[in-house]
Structure 1
Amino acid sequence: MAPVKKPPDFRPFVSHTHPKVVDVQGRDARQHAEAALANPIARDHILKPWAEMYERPFVGVTSDGRVVPGLYALEPNGAPTEAMIAATLDVLGQLSAEQRASASFPVDAREWRRWNNTEMYIFRQGLRLDDIAVPLREAILAVVRESLSAGGYAKTRDVMRLNQFLGELVGNTKVLNEWSYNFSLFGTPSASEPWGWQMMGHHLALNCLVIGAQMVLSPLFMGAEPCYCDAGPNKGTRLFGDEEYRALALMRALSDAQRREAILYHATMGGDLPPGRRQLPDQLQLAGAFQDNRIIPYEGVAAAGFSAGQRRHLLHLAAAYVDPMPAGPMKARMDEIERHLDETRFCWIGGTKEEDTFYYRIQSPVVLIEFDQHSGVFLANPEPAKFHVHTVVRTPNGNDYGADLLRLHYEQAHKGGQIGR
């Protein structure tokens, strides 16, 4: 558990005259999406680039544009497949024909890649949780619960509840609420054939593929603005403490020379940060929505030179991001990360004091983890603040969405069938 420290105060930045807050007033989610499509900044700098990236064939995140082969294998990792199937069949049993058509896609559909973490309800695939009956919504939550660890499910629900809190702060819970998320199914629940599900919305994207007793949970995005709740029924909810304090502990464990190598820039905005390093909509984050084929060169300090204690710190930090997986898949994922520790780099942008804001990235052939403390979107802080956090986990070299495992499955079980991504 992270140390219990007083969180920074976001209240001075709750402003009903902030342009983003003014823009959202009086709209529901669909009206807000239509307004975004008409907004030249959102249209030209976010939605148009997304559309262009979506049209490109899936390759995967790489360090140099070349996929490293042979990294992944079809191996059962203890996925709770039976419970996941039962929960998903309960969902399917409650769907109308129209709902089933909206929610269901082939397992190799490229619609996997349309997830995003904004509040804009642009991509209307799947079932919108705030549009459906409570029993169906609860059944969908059961699928998520059976697929994750207890901590992972609790964290997912906290992201959703903090989104509701943000809506209350800015005065629009039609756009920002606990249920403004979409759920989609890919393939047919099966104990042997591949299938999966996705849930996405503001500050949350879960992509879960299952093949037999093997699970991939990637890409995985979680964030919050603010990342704690100071009033109402969810008062005391707080996220991303482990991700913050374990990273600071790792930085403290490095030697001066290693820290110098890890720190790319000392400022998260301005200062020595190069022009263009911060970009819409992800700020310092590189592997966010629609960045499925992003080339992200290795940067920072090499873990190959870490002491045993420093390696433990790095693995302890990585575990904070793998923790949403159930026990078997989590162990398999951590073993995979540890096998490639000598090929892992750790980089940092920002200060290293507890009051400083920062970004960091863990990157190896099999995992990419990013943590970024953002400036305000709905809150009015113009500079990055510790109360607005984005995190993302990717599986580089072609296994986001379990795509490489799906390829192997088709090659082995279906004699070379093609995937459609």
Structure 2
Amino acid sequence: MYRSFLLFILTFTCLIPAKAQDMADKANHFIRLLSKAQQAQTLFPFDTGERYHFAYVPRDDRKGISVNELNPAQRQALMALLGTALSEGAVKKVNDIMQLDLVLKELEHRPENDHYRDPGKYFLTIFGVPAANTIWGWRFEGHHVAFNFSADKKELVAGTPAFLGANPAIVLEGPQKDKEVMKEETKLAFDLLHALSPGELQKTVVTTKAPAEIITGDRRNALIEHPEGIRYPELSAAHQQMLLGLISVYVHRFTKLFADKMLKDIQQDGLDNLWFTWAGSTEHELGKPCYYRIQGPGIIIEYDNTQNNANHIHTVVRDLKNDFGGDMLLEHYRAAHTK
């Protein structure tokens, strides 16, 4: 059954146009395919506190409906919805990350009936009523995958917090040996780091010890008060382009509409206000912990590879103005529902 779900992922993301108005249509198609009991499990008000829950570790108490509980047609509809928000490459990464749960299950010698590691334990939750004239949102979340989307009528407001992780970062044995799901996020960062001049490198590396986890964690409000590292204007023109290329990897996890909005916001906030920060080892080798961050007035991107002998990656994108749709969107929703 799960193999069929993977085929849906690879097939249908190639067919889905990245249009904002598609999102509500695809969400409603998914809802119509659910039974009444499944709808009750999946649908929540937009102003519920549940919408702000954000977790990227294995959990048994997630709200919503899991992939395991869906039939093939429902799974197809779920992936069609996901394809309205994420790029084809990002959906493939989600698929690959889900499959890594099978690798972990084998590595941890878990019995067949143990579902702590389970590629079907990923949940969809819908908040509000999807339509072209409503405020609503949805979340797709499980181990090492967490995306939160918000829409205000026909406008896509936010797709964050957005988390992707990989454990193992590099599969060392078994049928998936050498698979490296987050290879691009790792390689481009090290390419930039190793290209820096001695003066640039001295500013960029703030400590030789990497933090044990992404600093923003799973908090509702992402905040790192004091930026560190090297500022965009302090980089050479070539290294500025490399930094922008690294940002693009994260931004283009989303479909073009989302990505264009995020890039416009970054530019409006001023490229000169971007910081690039490195902590931990500067050697690109297994077993050497490292961390980097890109921070601006409206965005924080984090990458951490420290756990499991530095073979376990966490990455996150936080929109400091619009995470979970932003407070302003919630105010608009409440105002519309008190008239």
- Residue 95 (structure 2) aligns with: 157
In structure 1, the residue matched to 2:130 is 189
Matched letter for residue 245 of structure 1: K
Q: Does the aligned pair in 2 maintain the 1:127–1:182 contact within 8 Å?
A: yes
Match for residue 260 of structure 1?
A: 202
Q: Distance in 1 between matches of 2:263 and 2:158?
A: 13
CA deviation after TM superposition for structure 1 residue 140, in Å = 1.6
Distance in 1 separating the partners of 2:281 and 2:222: 30
Deviation of the 1:128 alpha carbon? 2.1
1:288 equivalenced with 2:228 (yes/no)? no
* Contact 2:18–2:84 (8 Å) recurs in 1: no
Counterpart amino acid of 1:326? T
- 1:223 aligned onto 2:159: no
Residue 128 of structure 1 pairs with residue 71 of structure 2: no
Amino acid at match of 1:391: T
Q: 2:274 aligns with which of 340, 344, 352?
A: 344
Scaled by the length of structure 2, the TM-score of the pair is 0.84
Tell me by how many angstroms 1:231 deviates: 3.3
Deviations 1:247-298 (CA, angstroms, capped at 9, x unpaired): 1122233221221111111133xxxxxxxxx4xxxx2311121252544421
| 2:147 aligned with 1:206 | yes
Partner of 1:319: 248
Matches within 5 A, 1:376-415: 376=308, 381=309, 385=310, 387-396=311-320, 398-404=321-327, 406-407=329-330, 409=332, 414=335
Are residues 1:308 and 2:250 paired? Answer: no
Partner of 1:18: none
AA aligned to 2:273 is E
What's the counterpart of residue 97 of structure 1? 36
User: Alpha carbons of 1:249 and 1:295: their partners in 2 closer, same or farther (altered >3 Å)?
Assistant: closer
1:202-259 alpha-carbon deviations (Å, 9 max, x no partner): 1110111122132411001110111244533x56642111111111122233221221
Letter matched to residue 322 of structure 2: N
Shift of 1:120: 2.3
TM-score (norm 1): 0.69
Contact 2:28 2:130 in 1 (8 A): yes
Which residue type is aligned with residue 207 of structure 2? Y
Identity, % of aligned pairs? Answer: 30
The SS at the match of 1:135 is helix
Gaps of 5+ in 2: 1-16
Give the Cα–Cα distance (whole angstroms) in 2 for the partners of residues 292 and 243 of structure 1.
24
Q: Which amino acid aligns with 1:178?
A: P
In 1, distance between residues paired with 2:70 and 2:133?
Answer: 30
Instruction: State the SS of the aligned residue for 2:160.
Output: strand
The CA deviation at 1:79 is 6.0
The corresponding residue for 2:298 is 366
2:7 matched residue in structure 1: none
Q: CA deviation at 1:415?
A: 7.3
Q: Is the 8 A contact 1:163 1:224 kept in 2?
A: no
Task: Say whether the 8 Å CA contact 2:52–2:220 is kept in structure 1.
Answer: no
Change in Cα spacing, 1:129 to 1:325, as seen in structure 2 (3 Å) is same
Q: Distance in 2 between matches of 1:186 and 1:343?
A: 34
Asked if the contact 1:228–1:238 (Cα under 8 Å) also holds between the matched residues in 2, the reply is yes
Kindly provide the CA deviation profile for residues 370-393 of structure 1, in whole angstroms up to 9, marking residues without a partner as x. Answer: 0000222xxxx4xxx1x3111011
Q: Is the 2:200–2:234 Cα contact (8 Å) retained in structure 1?
A: no
Q: Deviation string for 1:15-71 (max 9, x for gaps)?
A: xxxxxxxxxxxxxxxxxxxxxxxxxxxxxxxxxxxxxxxxxxxxxxxxxxxxxxxxx
Where structure 1 has 5 or more consecutive residues not aligned to the other structure, the ranges are 1-77, 269-277
**Structure 1 pair 312/372, CA: closer, same or farther in 2 (3 Å)?**
same
Counterpart residue identity of residue 108, structure 1: D
2:25–2:131 Cα contact (<8 Å) kept: no
* Counterpart secondary structure, 1:184: strand
Show the 5 A alignment for 1:234-249. 237-249=179-191
Measure the CA separation in 2 of the matches of 1:128 and 1:263. Answer: 41
Contact 1:219 1:400 in 2 (8 A): yes
Cα 1:107–1:304 change in 2 (3 A) is farther
Give the corresponding residue for 2:105.
Answer: 167
Deviations for 1:120-157, whole angstroms, at most 9, x for unmatched residues? 223x3111222333332332222112321111111111
DSSP-derived class of the 1:118 partner? coil
Question: CA–CA distance in 2 between the matches of 1:223 and 1:293?
Answer: 18
Please state if 1:81 is matched with 2:20: yes
Residues 403 and 178 (structure 1 numbering): CA distance in 2 closer, same or farther, change over 3 Å? same
Residues 345, 364 of structure 1: 8 Å contact kept? yes
Instruction: Output the CA distance in 1 between the equivalents of 2:247 and 2:65.
Output: 32
Supply the distance in 2 between the matched residues of 1:199 and 1:171 (Cα, whole angstroms).
28
- Provide the rounded CA distance (Å) in 1 between the counterparts of 2:337 and 2:131: 20
Equivalent pair of 2:222/2:318 in contact (CA under 8 Å): no
| Rounded Cα–Cα distance in structure 2 between residues aligned with 1:133 and 1:208 | 24
Residue 402 of structure 1 and its aligned partner are, at CA, apart by 1.6
Q: Secondary structure at the match of 2:279?
A: strand
